[in-house]
């Protein structure tokens, strides 16, 4: 047991080193400290709805929004984002993985509402070209709302019922999420520990 604990204690930091990534932000209407927690649009009732933006990076790996599910009915909401070129409903570029938000998400201190949506692989885009992302609800999902306000963003605008709403933007941040590879020293150490553990579990038989 002690050897197993020792093995885990050495392996776990290497696992963390591989799993903790870095958000590299490209475009944003605001950050966490300049969030206005007042105005929310109903995702389903305002379709086609979303946000236009003009990246300077050559790909989009994630998009962050502020969401809320104000209903307490035990259902929660599943939300994902579509990325479009030309317009919402124009040329489809990709969808993020869906994110489940529980009841009262965004309305209670333990659920602050900031939500990251990740594309399975970064989506290639042309820097300086305007693109559009569109929040969508998953099948059987409960109501969910997305935050907007008079955020000062010059590279796009909020879209509501298919039309731009000048002077208003969704709270959003987008960019690339970089997951670092484990350091070579950790790989060598973990490999050595695995080898020692295997030799301990299966000792070499004594020669006759």
pLDDT value, residue 179: 86
Decide: 119 and 125 in contact? Cβ < 8 Å. Answer: no
**Of 173, 165, 41, 194, which is closest to residue 118 (Cα–Cα)?**
173
Instruction: Tell whether 13 and 78 lie within a shared domain.
Output: no
Instruction: Tell whether 89 and 152 lie within a shared domain.
Output: yes
pLDDT value, residue 11: 43
The number of domains in the chain is 2
In the 8-state DSSP scheme, what is residue 128?
A: T
Give a yes or no: residue 64 inside a domain.
yes
Report the chain's mean pLDDT, rounded to a whole number.
84
Decide: 112 and 150 in contact? Cβ < 8 Å. Answer: no
Instruction: Tell whether 75 and 107 lie within a shared domain.
Output: yes
Instruction: Tell whether 71 and 12 lie within a shared domain.
Output: no
- Please say if the pLDDT value at position 3 is more than 60: no
- 180 or 6, higher pLDDT: 180
pLDDT value, residue 108: 77
Give a yes or no: residue 206 inside a domain.
no
Name the 3-class secondary structure at 134. strand
State percent of the chain over pLDDT 90. 63
**Of 167, 121, 149, 133, which is closest to residue 54 (Cα–Cα)?**
133
Give the model confidence (pLDDT) of 133-155 as tens digits.
999 999 888 889 999 999 999 99
pLDDT value, residue 201: 55
Overall average pLDDT of the 84-92 stretch: 98
Overall average pLDDT of the 28-50 stretch: 92
pLDDT value, residue 205: 58
Overall average pLDDT of the 116-121 stretch: 98
Instruction: Tell whether 46 and 145 lie within a shared domain.
Output: yes
Give the model confidence (pLDDT) of 163-175 as tens digits.
999 999 999 999 9
Instruction: Tell whether 110 and 173 lie within a shared domain.
Output: yes
Give a yes or no: residue 207 inside a domain.
no
Overall average pLDDT of the 171-181 stretch: 92
pLDDT value, residue 140: 81
- Please say if the pLDDT value at position 197 is more than 80: no
Overall average pLDDT of the 53-65 stretch: 98
Q: How far is CA 23 from CA 54, 60, 83, 118, 147, in A?
A: 18, 11, 19, 11, 21
- Residue 140 belongs to domain with CATH number: 2.60.120
> For the chain, percent helix, then strand, then coil, each to nearest 5?
20, 40, 40
pLDDT value, residue 203: 58
pLDDT value, residue 195: 55
- Please say if the pLDDT value at position 125 is more than 60: yes
> Where does the pLDDT of residue 19 fall: very low under 50, low under 70, confident under 90, or very high at 90 and above?
low
State percent of the chain over pLDDT 70. 76
Structure tokens given for 186: 């950790």
- Determine the structural domain holding residue 9 and report its residue range: 1-21+183-201
């Amino acid at each position: 047991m002690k050897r197993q604990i020792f093995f885990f204690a050495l392996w776990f930091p290497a696992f963390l080193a591989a799993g903790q990534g870095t958000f590299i932000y490209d475009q944003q209407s605001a950050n966490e400290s300049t969030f206005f927690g007042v105005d929310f649009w109903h995702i389903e009732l305002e379709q086609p709805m979303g946000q236009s933006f003009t990246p300077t990076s050559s790909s989009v790996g994630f998009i962050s929004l502020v969401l809320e599910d104000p209903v307490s009915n035990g259902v929660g909401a599943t939300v994902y984002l579509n990325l479009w070129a030309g317009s919402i409903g124009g040329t489809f570029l990709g969808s993020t993985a869906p994110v489940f938000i529980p009841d009262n998400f965004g309305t209670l201190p333990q659920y602050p509402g900031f939500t990251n949506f990740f594309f399975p692989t970064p989506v290639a885009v042309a820097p300086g070209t305007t693109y559009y992302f569109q929040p969508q609800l998953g099948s059987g999902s409960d109501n969910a709302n997305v935050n907007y306000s008079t955020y000062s963003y010059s590279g796009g605008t909020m879209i509501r019922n298919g039309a731009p709403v000048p002077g208003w933007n969704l709270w959003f941040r987008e960019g690339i999420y970089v997951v670092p590879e484990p350091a070579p020293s950790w790989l060598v150490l973990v490999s050595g520990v695995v080898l020692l553990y295997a030799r301990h579990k299966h000792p070499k038989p004594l020669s006759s």
